[in-house]
């Protein structure tokens, strides 16, 4: 039982820890391949490799989740990948996709400018660096952001994580913890990016999970958000 309890926290903490490991590995790699050249180029090379790091991170997280599920005897249905009685797949997708689109439009037209402004006041990353890093390599970014992240992250944070947290804490505390862990997953984007993702995406995704009693609705919301975000970044970088 004690091992299962610790596994919950380690699974939820895996993403930010692995992100740090990938940054260190990328720094070591570029430090090695640029020997004898300009060492000042290493930080930018690490930043430009962010989309590839995201792909590796999502695959690594999926492996960790599946390992935790196997040890605890959990199935995908136990994580919420199933419809409740009377629910229809198309309706759950629509219920999730609509708020996902709203959040995406809010992100593009209001939150991104606000984020840059707040980062200009204070943050541990340069203002506007998030879009630049994500758009450095568009194909791997699209793979990570659209094909992998909605499924992997919803399975971990609203499926495995929130389900287990609701069994240990009151609903407000469980949601707050899931929002916190989902936020720090994005720590490489800076302090305000953590807050933005945690509150603007994490809270409604958690609400969808609890109210619909499945992971399909928050998955649809996450997919809609990330798809529009990816298109926005592609268009912005291309412009």
**Kindly report the CA angle at 8 between 50 and 22, in degrees rounded to 5?**
20
**pLDDT on residue 36:** 67
Residue 60 predicted with pLDDT over 80: yes
**Which pLDDT band holds residue 37 (cuts at 50, 70, 90)?**
confident
Best CA proximity match to 222, nearest among 168, 134, 155: 155
**pLDDT on residue 98:** 98
**pLDDT on residue 236:** 81
Instruction: Return phi, psi of residue 14, to 5°.
Output: -60, -45
Residue 63 predicted with pLDDT over 90: yes
**pLDDT on residue 3:** 58
**pLDDT on residue 34:** 83
**pLDDT on residue 17:** 97
Q: Average pLDDT of 134-163?
A: 94
**Which pLDDT band holds residue 1 (cuts at 50, 70, 90)?**
very low
Q: How many domains would you assign to the chain? A: 1
Residue 123 predicted with pLDDT over 80: yes
**pLDDT on residue 2:** 52
What is the SS3 string spanning the chain?
CHHHHHHHHHHHHHHHHHHHHHHHHHHHHHHHHCCCCCHHHHHHHHHHCHHHHHHHHHHHHHHHHHHHHHHHCCCCCCCCCCCCCCCCHHHHHHHHHHHHHHHHHHHHHHHHHHHHHHHHHCCCCCCCHHHHHHCCCHHHHHHHHHHHHHHHHHHHHHHHHHHHHHCCCCHHHHHHHHHHHHHHCCHHHCHHHHHHHHHHHHHHHHHHHHHHCCCHHHHHHHHHHHHHHHHHHHHHHHC
Q: Average pLDDT of 25-49?
A: 87
**pLDDT on residue 38:** 77
Query: How much is the mean pLDDT over the chain?
Result: 93
How far apart CA 100 and CA 225 sit, in angstroms, is 5
Residue 154 predicted with pLDDT over 90: yes
Instruction: Return phi, psi of residue 76, to 5°.
Output: -65, -30
**pLDDT on residue 35:** 78
pLDDT digits (tens, 9 = 90+) for 136-150: 688 999 999 999 999
Higher pLDDT, 129 or 53: 53
**pLDDT on residue 116:** 93
Q: Average pLDDT of 101-121?
A: 95
Instruction: Give every CB contact of residue 43 below 8 A, 6+ residues apart in sequence.
Output: none
**pLDDT on residue 19:** 97
Domain encompassing residue 216: 2-238
Residue 127 predicted with pLDDT over 80: yes
Residue 24 predicted with pLDDT over 80: yes
**Which pLDDT band holds residue 238 (cuts at 50, 70, 90)?**
low
Task: Give long-range contacts, CB 8 A cutoff, 24+ apart: 229-237.
Answer: 229/104, 229/107, 229/108, 229/145, 230/141, 230/142, 230/145, 230/146, 232/104, 232/108, 233/131, 233/134, 233/135, 233/138, 233/141, 234/135, 234/138, 234/142, 236/131, 236/135, 237/131, 237/135, 237/138
């Amino acid at each position: 039982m004690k091992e299962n309890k610790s596994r919950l926290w380690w699974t939820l903490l895996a993403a930010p820890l692995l992100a740090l490991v990938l940054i260190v590995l990328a720094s070591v790699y570029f430090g090695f391949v640029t020997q004898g050249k300009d060492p000042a180029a290493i930080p930018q090379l690490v930043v430009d490799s962010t989309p590839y790091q995201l792909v590796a991170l999502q695959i690594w997280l999926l492996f960790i989740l599946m390992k935790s599920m196997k040890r605890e005897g959990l199935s995908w249905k136990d994580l919420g990948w199933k419809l409740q009685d009377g629910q229809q797949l198309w309706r759950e997708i629509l219920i999730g996709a609509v708020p996902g689109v709203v959040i995406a439009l809010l992100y593009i037209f209001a939150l991104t400018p606000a984020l840059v402004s707040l980062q200009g006041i204070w943050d541990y990353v340069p203002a506007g660096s998030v879009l630049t890093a994500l758009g450095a390599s568009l194909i791997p970014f699209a793979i990570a952001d659209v094909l992998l992240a909605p499924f992997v992250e919803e399975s971990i944070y609203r499926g495995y994580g929130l389900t287990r947290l609701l069994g240990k804490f009151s609903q407000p505390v469980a949601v707050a913890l899931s929002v916190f862990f989902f936020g720090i997953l994005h720590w490489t984007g800076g302090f305000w990016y953590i807050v933005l993702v945690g509150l603007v995406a994490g809270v409604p995704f958690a609400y969808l999970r609890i109210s619909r009693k499945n992971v399909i609705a928050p998955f649809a919301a996450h997919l809609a958000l990330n798809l529009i975000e990816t298109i926005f970044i592609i268009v912005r970088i291309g412009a």
